[in-house]
Amino acid sequence: MSLPQTIRIREIREDTHSIRTFVLDGEVSGAEPGQFVMVWLPGIDEKPMSIAHPAPLTVTVASVGPFTMKLHEKKVGDVIGWRGPYGRGFSLREDVPALLLGGGCGVGPMRFLATYAAERSIPVTVAIGARTESELACVGDFEALGVNLILTTDDGSRGHMGYVTQAISMFAADHQKFAVYACGPEPMLVAIHKLCREQGIPGQLSLERYMKCGFGVCGQCSLNGFLVCQDGPVFDAEQLDGLRDFGKTRRTATGRRLPLRNG
């Protein structure tokens, strides 16, 4: 494990009404796309956040509860803590084009992966989905990277109307072989897992479970025999076959099992 380090906030970007990107004044060395850091607000809590960019260290955060609301109140120049990187990231295949699917704040790790793939000259298409146009996050970041972009909105206000999972069949119409990499709400991941397994498409999915230590000690993030912080958060689609809790239940801070919420 690494001890927390303090770091100053260099820049804050408002991506949507509930999602902000924090660019921090330092870097995380040796990080791979899909890995995460534990972000620490002294006196409040410590929570896992995916690395959206390693240098400078950047995280894209959705305001969903007490910790993330406090983080959203921070200003440029404020100091926060972090430790990491942790977890198993995406293992990018160099032999086939990459289709990256991101929903909600799941676009953060996709930004790191898209940059990583583009640097290795692997053809990348990024599909981002949201309920409506104003909730599509980080579109400008992907446009600046110059990757192919597919946008979907549930209400059709921008891009294709429907779910981001449609991008798989759209992409399959033009490509015989490709690999799928995804991060987003679990119902989206369940749909992607099903499509990948039915159609024989190699897929890697980034999962979330409640985390405390972040490096395999506390057991809080256990998922049917896996520790999500250590064996994941990125799993190969086949590893998720038949997992009892995938798409069905999550655990709270006390370890109580609850039905998974949609979204």
Ligand X SMILES: Cc1cc2nc3c(=O)[nH]c(=O)nc-3n(C[C@H](O)[C@H](O)[C@H](O)COP(=O)(O)OP(=O)(O)OC[C@H]3O[C@@H](n4cnc5c(N)ncnc54)[C@H](O)[C@@H]3O)c2cc1C
Question: Where on the chain is the footprint of ligand X (CB under 6 A)?
Answer: 36, 47-50, 59-62, 64-68, 105, 108, 208-211, 233, 250
At 77 the three-state DSSP class reads coil
Stretch that binds ligand FES, among 71-79, 164-172, 205-213, 250-258 (CB under 6 A): 205-213
218, 245, 250, 251: which one binds ligand FES (CB under 6 A):
218
**Separation CA 188–CA 102 (nearest Å):** 9
Nearest to ligand FES of 53, 209 (CB atom): 209
**Separation CA 151–CA 145 (nearest Å):** 15
Q: Which residues share a beta bridge with 249?
A: 259
Nearest to ligand X of 200, 259 (CB atom): 259
DSSP code per residue over 88-126: B-----SSS-EEEEEEGGGHHHHHHHHHHHHHTT--EEE
The CB-of-57 to ligand FES minimum distance in angstroms stands at 20
Q: CA 229 → CA 92, 169, 214, distances in Å?
A: 19, 31, 5
At 139 the three-state DSSP class reads helix
Measured in degrees and rounded to the nearest 5, phi and psi for residue 260 equal: -70, 135
Q: Does 255 bind ligand FES (CB under 6 A)?
A: no
| Partner whose footprint covers residue 142, from ligand FES, ligand X, none (CB < 5 to 8 Å by kind) | none
84, 102, 106, 214: which one binds ligand FES (CB under 6 A):
214
| Partner whose footprint covers residue 190, from ligand FES, ligand X, none (CB < 5 to 8 Å by kind) | none
| Partner whose footprint covers residue 72, from ligand FES, ligand X, none (CB < 5 to 8 Å by kind) | none
Number of residues that bind ligand FES (CB under 6 A): 12
**Separation CA 79–CA 123 (nearest Å):** 38
Residues in contact with ligand FES by the rule CB under 6 A: 211-214, 216-221, 227, 229
